[in-house]
Structure 1
């Protein structure tokens, strides 16, 4: 399908999404900078260490997307080894190793920022990736399976990988070592809140809606009503995130630039490598896009929480975690447009997702 006609059917919000995201970032930074004490006030609204404003935004963002998932088709994803095996390798072997290498290459003289970046690389995305995947017309069912898989591996492997890349491997290479203390409960809590709640809500909504009104009513009447809230939640989350750290970001622009450079390289390499891998193993565009966005995204909520708990809220490690979404949000929204531009080079069988991959379906269908 040509880009022109598709773009013409996008809603006003969707057509100018990049503008709204940049505006939300600017608004958040401006509020954090201009309103005294706002960042501290937002940061204190927590329950068991989880920021309620951020949690609220992410839950509102993820719920409509997960309500769109056709859970009766998940078995077609779990049987697809061409998707699952590359995803595991990219997320848990390539991603952490690449971030480790980039952190040492670009930040050899800044150990706090370097450590923060490595922690970001260990935290695989389980939340915001669902919105990037949906905007890029990826496979919703595949995204649900891959984020669940990442969640399980995150609980099992995060602490071990932290020891490997911050302690063991640097020691073997004669580099500076860092101890990382993170509780398993902190990781489990992140998974339960940022994936478990919206996943359960989405599943129950579809199950109840289809049983009472049928699938046709559910997908043509209910989903269009709740769909736009995914983008509202995304914009709200961005405003809160940048309001929390607006002062830190604007007061250290050179440090932010140093941290941003390896992140830019990381996102570009991971996304392009995953798309190429998907094409090479014969995945259609929807699942290749899902593979790419789940490989490129990171769980900044967990990374920031671990950095703050281990090194303190004002540490360089925490700032590196904060810069993560500062770079990830505009870069991945840009990659959404790149993905839509290159999808013509992929085989696109309708059976891959049970629907033709068109952008008009992501927000209002």
Structure 2
């Protein structure tokens, strides 16, 4: 038997063993996610006052309290698992950091701009909304997709933090460039985007800063008080199920908030979905292939791919609503973003796991086994 065949068989056996140990919630997570999306859409469409009640609950202006709670519950267990003492092994990986910055802040917005203008030339509101989605790089739900795909947790934490910093610095400038300057140079329709750096920073601090701080403090004081063995063998398994539960809650709330808008305009949703589907696929596949081409191990290639493909739908929707109004086509395009992103990236988790057999090194050498 060849070395490649041996590695493939071993990978398949390992994956089967891992799947067999999963809880019922984890094993059928795609089914639960689909059910959560349908439940949210039905609640938003047919339960009187549901949208009004959910929209009335805010952490602060433009930040939904139910979505914040769901994201906090979803992200905390994953960020609590991060080995913060190993972040230096990620920051020293210049190939990973430079690749992520180039893909997220040069390639990603350009790909979405091209797809939006190519596939929606006659729908300026939706086109603008998609470009805003392309500018909002993912800082939240990507943590879950990366963990499900057995990506590098420490690398994900660093890349998400890096994206957060660049989001505060670059979002408004890139919005001006892709919605006003570049279309003007090309003789296309131009649009203004008035968004402050503070509103972006506030979104980053709330949706990433709070769960990141909670995860760090848990790791630091848990290990200091009870030891690493207790923390990883006793504490983490207890809080771990909160992540998928928070994900499902977030999906239900998100789709309940916009259920009526989505279900009342199915043809518009289909038009918006096409460039989104192409975008997520192109960004994930290109980044994953780049990671392998650069010689990165599987876990970091997966992290590079998912942090490139995901988008910060919370920020995109908030910016679209604040600039163009809650009933605008731009806001609808932002809402359709997670409708397409969630099932596509769940599917790509399985594609990623199947592809790891093609890597000679599936895990970074300094990375410890998962708890």
The interval holding the TM-score normalised by the smaller chain is over 0.9
Q: Distance in 1 between the 2:291 and 2:317 partners?
A: 30
Match of 2:32 among 6, 9, 20: 20
Is the aligned partner of 1:34 residue 2:46?
A: yes
Q: TM-score, normalising length from structure 1?
A: 0.97
* Partner of residue 6, structure 2: none
Q: Distance in 2 between the 1:202 and 1:235 partners?
A: 20
Contact 1:286 1:353 in 2 (8 A): no
Q: Distance in 2 between the 1:246 and 1:21 partners?
A: 16
Q: Distance in 2 between the 1:40 and 1:324 partners?
A: 21
Contact 1:39 1:243 in 2 (8 A): yes
* Partner of residue 283, structure 2: 270
Gaps of 5+ in 2: 1-10
| 4+ aligned runs moved over 6 Å, structure 1 | none
Is the aligned partner of 1:245 residue 2:266?
A: no
Residues 137-176 of structure 1 mapped to structure 2, 5 A cutoff? 137-176=150-189
Q: Distance in 1 between the 2:197 and 2:134 partners?
A: 18
How far apart are residue 353 of structure 1 and its match?
5.2
Q: Distance in 1 between the 2:149 and 2:265 partners?
A: 33
How far apart are residue 346 of structure 1 and its match?
1.4
Match of 1:55 among 42, 63, 68: 68
Provide the alpha-carbon RMSD of the alignment: 0.9
Q: Classify 1:33/1:20 alpha carbon distance in 2 versus 1 (closer, same or farther; 3 Å).
A: same
* Partner of residue 195, structure 2: 182
Per-residue CA deviations over 1:25-67 (Å, capped at 9, x if unaligned) read 0000010111012012101111322100000000110000000
How far apart are residue 349 of structure 1 and its match?
5.7
Q: Distance in 1 between the 2:55 and 2:298 partners?
A: 40
Q: Distance in 2 between the 1:287 and 1:346 partners?
A: 11
* Partner of residue 21, structure 2: 9
Instruction: Determine helix, strand or coil for the equivalent of 1:201.
Output: helix
Residues 114-153 of structure 1 mapped to structure 2, 5 A cutoff? 114-153=127-166
Q: Classify 1:350/1:246 alpha carbon distance in 2 versus 1 (closer, same or farther; 3 Å).
A: closer
How far apart are residue 350 of structure 1 and its match?
4.6
Q: Distance in 2 between the 1:47 and 1:235 partners?
A: 20
Is the aligned partner of 1:343 residue 2:356?
A: yes
Equivalent pairs counted in the alignment come to 358
